[in-house]
Structures are given as C-alpha cells and as structure tokens.
Structure 1
Amino acid sequence: MRLPVMPPVKPMLAKAAARIPPGLHYEAKWDGFRAIVFRDGDEVLIGSRNTKPLDRYFPDVVEAALRLLPPRCVLDGELVIALDGRLDFDRLQDRIHPAASRVRHLAETTPASFVAFDLLALGDESYLARPLTERRAALEAALADAVPPIHVAPATTDPAVARDWFDRFEGAGLDGIVAKDPAGPYLPDERAMVKIKHERTADCVVAGYREHKSGPVVGSLLLGLYDDRGRLQHVGVSAAFTAARRAELVEELAPYRMTDPTGHPWAHWAEAEAHEADRLPGAVTRWSGGRLSDWVPLRPEPVCEVAYDHVQGDRFRHTTRFRRWRTDKDPAECTYEQLAEPTRYDLSDVLGAR
C-alpha cells in the first residue's frame, strides 16, 4: 500500500460542549466504531480509533470499499450496524470475535455500513492541510455514486437545522451533534472539533464498586436498576472522579460494604460461569484482553443521581457522570421506568438528510 497518507493514522477528536456553537459546520454524531478506511487498488485497511486493524472483523465493508470507493483514497468515518431503522451498538460489538467463521456469519446476517464524513487523501493528493470546506466538497464528489452500505454523513452549516437534527435523530440511535471549523485542516489525534451530546439523569442503586488501579480507592461505582420483576440489574458504571474524591467514596461507602456477598442480588457473579453473560462488573470482555476485574459488593441501599446520554438495550451505553447522593430516595424507586425514551426516527431518514 502506497498512499499520500499512510496508516496508522489517529482520527481527529472532539471536546465536549453544552450547547451547539454558531457559525460552524455541523454533522450528526454517530454511535458506532470510529474508523479510517485506506484503499489502494485491491488493498483495503480499516484502522480503529486507536489504530488497531478492524478489516478482519468487517469483511462486508472491505468488499463494499473495493466496489464503491475511489481506487486510491483515505476516508474518516464510522462503522455502524442498524436493526429496525435504529443503530445497534451491541450488534457492532459482536463483530469483535476471534472466530473467522462467526465473523463471516454475522457479516451476512447483520451487515455493517460505513458512514464517511471526512476525506484525508484522494489519488496522489493529501487533503490533511486543506480546509474542511474543500475536503467536504471533494468527499461528496468522490462518493457521488456510492450506494449502501457506503454513505456520506449529512451535514449543514445552519445551526437551526443542527438543533433540529439534535432532537430528531436521537430516535434513530445517534448521539448528538459534532461541530467543525469550516476553515480548519484535519488534525490527527487533536481535539479540534466540538461534540454536543444528549444528557439526562437517573437515580440508581450503588450495589458495588471496583477499586482503582492506583490502589484501594474507588475506581468506578457499579449501578443497578430494578426491572419489572423486582430484580436488580447491572446497568453501567460511574467512574470520573478526582483522586481525592475516590478516597472519600471509600469512606462514604464503608457502612454498606459486605465481606461476604451471600444474599447480595449479584452474588452469583462470584461464580465463574456467570461471567459468560458478558454484562457483569468483573466479566471478561473482548476489549479487556481476558483480564478479570474484582469488585467490592455493597448492600444495595445507597442511591445516587447520575447523568447519562444514551441507553442501549437495558443498560447505559457510555460511562455515566456522578451528580450527587440521593439520601431521600428509597432504592426500590430506582426502576427502568424513569429512563426517558426518545421518539423513534428511522435511520434511512437520517442518511437521506444529506
């Protein structure tokens, strides 16, 4: 492979903002795997956000790239999978599987798509130093004849349209809005964009915690919600704390600490076979390299309010943000019913907004 922009390349990143800023270029924020696609003739390489190769997990996208992308190009975008008109991140994670036969089966039954939103190189030319307006125009021209599963992300310079997208597109599983400087170059691994994400709050039971890698302080709180059968389900974690706050949390949670997990609603997590469910606090995941994480069980009594941006299935899609303790709340009040559900919006309509 010989391209004007060669792998590995780390994608340009975004910093968070509370509101949509004026005077910029706006795109929907996709909930998938960030990916940079390199094509040079018959060679295709897909690099992840941390530059690890993804092409072996997405043979359907590799095949589509060979059919539909320009012969020599480098594109920044997102790998996504949609089911019933909505992005499904769980199905995307299923692709990261060691068995090639399993990956091929999933590529046939739940095919992925690539949504392109930036152009890094075309032919013999690098576009990294060019302004976004030029890169965007070249991207749209290069993919003018593209058909699914290759898409160009819809974009606008109208903040009113961006605000409308922010509200409506969430129903299709999108995360929010990304704002970019129209005159800015492409800056790999720099936070040169702005992301505005949805945020809601929920009251959750804190039924355990993981210790931080630095020592016997709180690394992350393990959150639970009661389902309609009265079972406390693990729904996610809250983990962004200062070093001082991590130590304080150990003291605050000490009265609830259980030396023996017997009777805890998640006591079965101590059993090795329970980790096969792949949604337990100490479970081995495909991203953890086979490492088991210990957790400290707590009596499921303390309640905290957390901010979250998105629910995927029956758990929080991302790490939540701790807001405050809710000593006025009974743990039994922490149910799924409090989670807000956005109005459904079909993904095909999002892609048609270009």
Structure 2
Amino acid sequence: MLARTVHTLPEGPEWRYEPKWDGFRAIANRENGRTVVTSRSGRRLDTRFPEIAEAVSGLLPDGTSVDGEIVRWSGEGLEFGPLQRRTRATVRRARQLATMEPCHLVVFDVLRREGADLARQGLQDRREELERMFGEVSGPVPVMLGWQTTDPEEARTWFEDLVAVGIEGLIIKDARGTYQPGCRDWMKLKHRTTTEAVVGGVGGRVTSPDSLVLGRHDPDTGELRIVGRTTELTRAERRELAGLLSEAGEEHPWPVRLPARWGDNDPAEMVRVRPELVVEVETDTETVAERWRHVVRYVRPRTELDPRDVPTGLDVES
C-alpha cells in the first residue's frame, strides 16, 4: 500500500499518524516454517538482512505477514548507507555486516495472522492485532512495533523534532481504511519533495560523473525518455556512484548529445550508461516540454529498487 503527497496535516477522529521512516520498505512473511522478507518490487531481502529474518522466525506465528520498514539506527540517528551496503554484499558479507551494523524492521501493519486474512479489516482493528502480537515480545529484538498516535499535536512534534534523527516526515492513515496493495490511500507529509528516476547518462566520465542525466518511462509507449539532469555532483557523490554505473552500448535509446545546461542550446557530449540504476532526487513539480523545468538535486542511489519501481512520466509520487 502506498501514500500520496499532501502539504498540510489533516485533522479529525479518523486519522492516525506515524513517523515516515527512512529505510527499505519490506513485507515479512512466515509460512510453513519458512521466513521470506521481500522489497516493494519483490526482491528477496532475508539473505541480506539475516538478523531480521531470524528475529521474524522467532517472533511471528506461522501464517503471518507484516508490513514495515527496514532501518539502521546508529544510536544518534537513522543511517541509509548501511542499508545500501547490504544490497551490494554477498550472503557471507551480509552476515558479517549484520553483526557490525545491525538493522531493525519497524512494523506498522499486519496483513495476515495465523492464516487469517486481516487486510479487509479496518486499520484500527489491524493495529490492535499488532499491539497484541508485540505485547507478547520481551527483551530487545531486531523487530519492533512502529509508533502511532491519534493526537495531531503529538504528530506535529514528531514532524518538527524527529527530522534531526532522520525521520522524513509523517504518514497519515484512515483508521477505517482497509489494506489495498498498490493503492495510494495513505498520505505522506514530507520535509522535502523527493522522487526516483533512472540514470541513463552522465556528464563527465562514468568512473567519476560530473552530473546525471535522468530518465523515466513513457506511460503510454514504455519508451525511456530524458526528463531531467542533476546539479553538479560533489566529490563524495561521484565516488559513491562510480562503482554503480557502466557504459552502455549502441542499443541505448538516447542520442549522444544533449544541452550542456538545462535550457541551453549549446549541445554537450553525454556518456550513455546502462539504464539500470535508480536514484533519489529532490525536485519541484514545474515541468516544460515533458521534462522537469529545473535541474534537480541528487540525494542518493536506491540500489534496492528496480527501474520498474520508478513512477512513469513526470509523476513525483513514489
């Protein structure tokens, strides 16, 4: 289930407010004595986060599925880098990282409990079921119950104060709402507007890109189109991206030249790369000629996502 962006906090007795955790969205499923943890796109995460899979195996009864966010808490705040390292690690290395940089699964919804389908029940009933499940947990474990409040003033305090430790904003849910996969019936109030795009080219060298040329698939034709370009990357960002990009062959759908600067008619060379890497960018919603009007700011790679997870067209929802 997904969320749509709002710019003000709705109030009323039906609303439930939760922190928007900065991590990897994940579904944990316990079935026939086996635990599987998958990403939003269906990628297996249990081998990359063995500490979470083992905790789920000991915590959830058979026939149970929960929705949550995998996060890394350093003691001072949330860290995204360790999550990225897991996606690139071998199974053996992931086990080593699990002891060095342990992660948690913050659970905020339950879809099944011991074979019973709970998705058609209202959120309030599902939350009560979750609280009963976690009420039986003793001692610290890598799986925890996410926070939720009915008080808009407490939610505003979370929004203002928790940004310092990496909370992105708030998720707002209707207590009466059922769980509908793929639907944007939840809402999100964020400190900044970010979205995802596919890297299809770079300015500079692939091994040290100056900027990224971004693409989105056309919702009608499926064609990968150029939709934007980032501002100049920092030295640290260039190092972060260098090992994630590889030069494309002649089959790439884009031309080799594009404007040197967004809105400039003087074309510059672009090195085309395989359109496989998804990155998160900060953008506004202004568009022109089927592109983002302004250059966007690169935020980070999203190696856990597949290009198919990226919104189509110029939609900023993700």
SS in 2 for 1:18: coil
Conserved 8 A contact 1:115-1:153: yes
Looking at structure 1, the residues matched to 285 and 110 of structure 2 have their Cα atoms a distance apart, in angstroms, of: 39
Distance change (3 Å), C-alpha of 1:322 and 1:254: farther
Residue aligning to 1:15: 4
Residue pairs, 1:75-154, within 5 angstroms: 75-97=66-88, 99-146=90-137, 147-154=140-147
Looking at structure 2, the residues matched to 190 and 156 of structure 1 have their Cα atoms a distance apart, in angstroms, of: 23
Is 1:252 paired with 2:263? yes
SS in 1 for 2:132: helix
SS in 1 for 2:87: coil
Shift of 1:54: 1.2
Task: Give the percent of matched residue pairs that are identical in Structure 1 and Structure 2.
Answer: 29
Residue pairs, 1:1-354, within 5 angstroms: 12-23=1-12, 24-40=15-31, 42-97=33-88, 99-146=90-137, 147-199=140-192, 208=211, 210=213, 212=215, 218-224=226-232, 252-255=263-266, 257-259=267-269, 287=277, 318-322=280-284
Residues 169-215 of structure 1, C-alpha deviation per residue, up to 9 Å, x if partnerless?
Answer: 111111100000100111111111000000289xxxx9645264778
Shift of 1:70: 2.8
Shift of 1:154: 0.6
Looking at structure 2, the residues matched to 90 and 103 of structure 1 have their Cα atoms a distance apart, in angstroms, of: 14
Shift of 1:18: 0.6
Residue aligning to 2:248: none
Conserved 8 A contact 2:27-2:37: yes
TM score, norm. by length of structure 1: 0.61
Shift of 1:224: 2.5
Looking at structure 1, the residues matched to 225 and 32 of structure 2 have their Cα atoms a distance apart, in angstroms, of: 52
Conserved 8 A contact 2:63-2:113: yes
Conserved 8 A contact 1:224-1:233: no
Output the amino acid matched with 2:26.
A
Shift of 1:258: 3.8
Gapped regions of structure 2 (runs ≥ 5): 195-202, 204-209, 242-257, 287-318
Asked which structure has the greater CA Rg, the reply is 1
Looking at structure 2, the residues matched to 109 and 33 of structure 1 have their Cα atoms a distance apart, in angstroms, of: 19
Greater percentage in helix? 1
Conserved 8 A contact 1:209-1:219: no
Shift of 1:216: 10
Output the amino acid matched with 2:145.
V
TM score, norm. by length of structure 2: 0.68
SS in 2 for 1:156: coil
Distance change (3 Å), C-alpha of 1:216 and 1:249: farther
Question: How many corresponding residue pairs?
Answer: 248
Distance change (3 Å), C-alpha of 1:18 and 1:45: same
Distance change (3 Å), C-alpha of 1:232 and 1:17: closer
Looking at structure 1, the residues matched to 35 and 126 of structure 2 have their Cα atoms a distance apart, in angstroms, of: 21
